Chains A and B, each alone.
Chain A
Amino acid sequence: MFWAWMCAAWAAPQVLLVTTPGVKLDAYLPLIEAMRAKEVRVEAVVFPCSGGGDDYRKKIVSQAEGQGWTVLAHGLGATLALQSGVQAERFVLLGPVLDVVPGPAMQPLIHTSITEGLSLDTHLIEPSLRQLLLGDWEGQLTCVSPLWAKEVQQWLRDAHVPLKLAAIDAPVWLGVGLLDEVATVEAIVPASRSFPHRTLVRLGVARMDPKDYRHFDLLSDAIPVRAAVHAVLDGE
């Protein structure tokens, strides 16, 4: 009895980190290191530069088989995780792309021509807009499957992300940033109300944090990272 309690008390959650296609695993290091410091076991789902969304979603489900995972994801990785139907015990999501409200900043992405050999680091959008959309993320982007990029482009064109949020039974924790131009508050916050079990945290100045956060700040800044790790551990 005592040992069973000890094991339960010390067993940290197992985290399945779903990355975003086109984003290097290095970008997730602050998050991974913060979780490892708390003795959380982390397994990452990393996507190749080929294949489409269906392949990626299958990969998530197959990698999650047989375990009680807390799924941790950011941006479009979160979208894939939610679309995949993965059986998670809990979702911890930073800046998840749950919906799209069209705006001028998205126009270059909607109209750009997608070709083979696509790299987010050198294609899609010019550097100054990329910096405004994503934040300081030089060197963290890599190749991406054109098939996947076209799927995302279609979501932007339709101003709709195909998701069935009301069907997600697991508790969902969401951290959002006011300055996030990819997962904008005007898109995420209303959409998130469809989750049956949701905790929404507005990270930033209104929470007395030192700054507001852009899309990739949510992965790199210590405060959002700490909030996500806390949300992972809080599920225990």
Chain B
Amino acid sequence: MIGALLLLLGMSWAGPPVAAPAEVVPVVSADGGFAVLHHLENIGGPAVILIHGISSNHRFWDLEPDRSLARALHQAGFDVWNMDLRGHGDALRLPDGKRPKADWSVDDYGEHDLPAAIGLVRAKTGLKKVSVVGHSMGGMVLAVYLATFGDEQLKSAVVVASPLDFRDPDWMLSAVFHASPLVKGLGFVPTPAAAKMFTVAKRELPLQLDALLHNPENFERTAEGRMFRTVVSPMSRGEIAQFSTLAEDGEFRSVDGSVRYREALGGVRMPMFFVAGRADRVVSPERVRAYYNAVPNADRSWVVISKANGFTGDYGHLDYGCADGAKDDVFPQIINFLKEHP
């Protein structure tokens, strides 16, 4: 049984390559961290940096040609920079082939990786300001950046299913937060192998574990399997350590505990667009709304992707970039917002 499972895992594949390959641009941050930007060039177009979520990579925003915010933005005239944060996707290993030591945190992404990426994009394009789109932890990375550097170099931002707090956790989240110290000793948590199990046993798993991450109703099964095989990267123990502090009171804080990010964004004034999903069981809409409320001086707008609101489905956590209807439900919302705030 176990052998069969391993065989199936070993046979899994990443699916067809995406259309026109992006230029791979390495980003080395001030602390020596190594990230990667996948550049879809539109000379003179407004620049947008896409950031993936926890345990994910740039393929979340570029799963395949028909499920690709990166390519939809590129077609709409944007100069697109789709990011792999350190330790993810094409930045899983350092240029010398070694795995980096897994001690970095979400703070490191926001204080080092994102500023380095913004600096690189500004230098390459000559633009003064860029836009950022962050999914889940990607939006938390943006919050760290904003709390540290402010919004001077940003034109606008889209926050997709990102929380700044996990107050009032449900049973499952509580269990995850309390169990997280147990895996801190691992270095990397092998989430890609777990995700591949979803592709083998999905919809037959007890407790509907896969349905916690996405809404299966919104996926054709082949694409669902491809998503689980492709968009998952390992988690580092540093990230887990920072997330495990959420068990205390649900607040997303800096590693040293000195900054409560929900209370550090009052100075943000740029346009921001918040996207939540009605069936998002990881970051339920009130957590995204709390982020919205944390930027009272920004030019804010908000949408919940749900059937009742006129979309094709009630969106789960991984649906925004990869669901069958994302190109009609989510991408136009983001593109229109970015166009309306040039």
Contact = CB atoms under 8 A, between A and B. Distances in A.
B309 A103 contact: yes
Given A185-B284, A186-B285, A104 B171 contact: no
B168 A178 contact: no
Interface residues of A, number: 27
Interface in B240-292: 276, 278-281, 284-286, 288-290
B172 A190 contact: no
A202 B170 contact: yes
A103 B286 CA distance: 13
Contacts, number: 80
B281 A132 contact: no
B281 A105 contact: no
B interface: dominant SS: mixed
A206 B278 contact: no
A206 B173 contact: yes
Given A178-B279, A178-B284, A207-B171, 18 more contacts: A101-B302, A104-B308, A105-B306, A105-B310, A132-B307, A132-B308, A178-B281, A181-B306, A185-B286, A189-B168, A189-B284, A202-B171, A204-B170, A204-B281, A205-B211, A205-B281, A206-B172, A206-B281
15 contacts: A103-B303, A104-B309, A132-B306, A178-B281, A184-B304, A185-B285, A185-B286, A186-B304, A188-B286, A193-B167, A202-B168, A202-B171, A205-B212, A206-B172, A206-B281
A154 B188 CA distance: 53
Nearest to B208: A205
B309 A105 contact: yes
Contact of A133 (B170, B276, B303, B308): B308
B207 interface: yes
Nearest to B167: A193
A212 interface: yes
Interface string A67-111: 000000000000000000000000000000000010111000000
Residue of B172, B207, B208, B308 with most chain A CB atoms under a 10 A cut-off: B308
B216 to A, nearest CB: 11
Contacts of B171: 202, 206-208
Interface string A118-135: 000000000001001100
A212 B288 CA distance: 19
Given A104-B309, A178-B278, A181-B306, A186 B286 contact: yes
Nearest to A101: B289
A222 interface: no
B107 interface: no
A11 interface: no
B224 interface: no
A149 to B, nearest CB: 19
A194 to B, nearest CB: 13
Contacts of B284: 178, 185-186, 189, 202
Contacts of A212: 279, 281
B79 interface: no
B308 A105 contact: yes
Contacts of B289: 101, 186, 190
A187 B280 CA distance: 15
A185 B163 CA distance: 14
A42 interface: no
B295 to A, nearest CB: 15
Nearest to A188: B286
Contacts of B207: 208
B314 interface: yes
B281 A181 contact: no
A104 B310 contact: yes
B282 to A, nearest CB: 9
